[in-house]
Amino acid sequence: MTLARRLTAALVTVVALVAAGLVAWRVLKPAEVLATAPVAYPAPIEREPGVTGKTAGAPLIVDGRVRVFAAKRQVRADGPVDAKTSYTPGWSFRRWPQQLNGVVAAGSAVVTRWSDGLLVALDSRTGEELWRVPGPPAGSYTGLRTGASTVWAPDGLFTAGPQVLVAAGGQVTAYLGGVRRWSISACGDGFTTLPGQYVCPTGLYDVQTGEMVAGWQVGPFTALGCGVARSGCEGFRDASGRGWLTTSGTPRRTPALDAPDTTLADGEPLTVTGPTVVAARWQWTDPAGGAVQVLGGAGKKIYLLTAARQLVIVDSLTGAASSFVLAVGSEATTWRPGGWQVTDAHVAIERLDDPDPESVHHYFTVETVVIAAT
């Protein structure tokens, strides 16, 4: 080969390498893609109680109007809540190469936490960015296929009204509208209560000021009657096993919550024994005799799940009950519940089969989350 040909071949090789590098850079470079909602915000919906549909992902129901879904590098929303399946997103936000670590709803804001610690708040109605602040590094995506843990039980991410609390490395920081309000150390992971305390192993703290609430011994504390993200909890048991109700003001001593088999739903202490649920003014027993599970409560409704996978809706004041099977069409009811969310108008439940998360049969069906109006 002549010198000229060698130089030409070398030049071609260099050009090819540069071109390949440019392509790789364009594909792999850090990037964000925000697509806001091109359609109107879904109107409030009133439906007769019953199953409305099923989805492949676990929805965080926000404002009773939209469903927010989590994926490894994306958060997206669709609506209305009673849509039969997942629709084209009304809005979406994607980051690369960061991973989505957690999602919570605080007022009209959907607050996302990413693996690099960045907090980005999006308007639940439009997807437009409201604010962003840097935070301590977070973990990677843990939601598996449905994203259930990311939207219903995010690690170290809590809400207290419009505030968002972030726990990492033993420190808890509160943000309001993207502004850091306070930070406390030596506290760590915990939960928030309805009237506004953050409860962690070292005690109770006022969520407005970050100041410790006087008169409390150290934990551990056991949360009772919590919403998603271990927030808005209605009560707890202290380190000595004594129960406290936190539905208003200062935690109130409530001996009815002392027993380990007692829980809370819609502010009502409940004791579950096999097929029977006992409240202060009523009790309900499954006629089929199977074990009953309390899912939670809201809006004077308490939701129970029977062994036959019926959703039982109980009036928290009177004990009057109605029920229907959580199935679409002729679906089997052999599943077990994974994660779930309850609101005053809807219930969404992740249905599992094989308990091994690595199994191809871990999820009950492809569209494994069933959604019902209540």
Q: Are 117 and 136 in contact (CB under 8 A)?
A: yes
pLDDT by residue for the chain (374 residues), tens digit each? 565 565 555 555 544 554 444 333 344 467 999 999 887 888 887 889 999 999 999 999 999 999 999 999 999 999 999 999 998 899 999 999 999 999 999 988 999 999 999 999 999 999 999 999 999 999 999 999 999 999 999 999 999 999 999 999 999 999 999 999 999 998 988 999 999 999 999 999 999 999 999 999 899 999 999 999 999 999 999 999 999 999 988 999 999 999 999 999 999 999 999 999 999 999 999 999 999 999 999 999 999 999 999 999 999 999 999 999 999 999 999 999 999 999 999 999 999 999 999 999 999 999 999 999 99
Lateral strand order in the sheet of 197-200: 191-192, 197-200, 203-206
Instruction: Please tell me the distance from the alpha carbon of residue 294 to that of residue 108, in angstroms, as a whole number.
Output: 28
Q: Are 87 and 99 in contact (CB under 8 A)?
A: no
Set out the domains of the chain in order of their start, with CATH numbers. 32-154 (2.40.10.480), 156-258 (2.40.128)
When computed from its CA atoms, the radius of gyration of the chain, rounded to whole angstroms, is 24
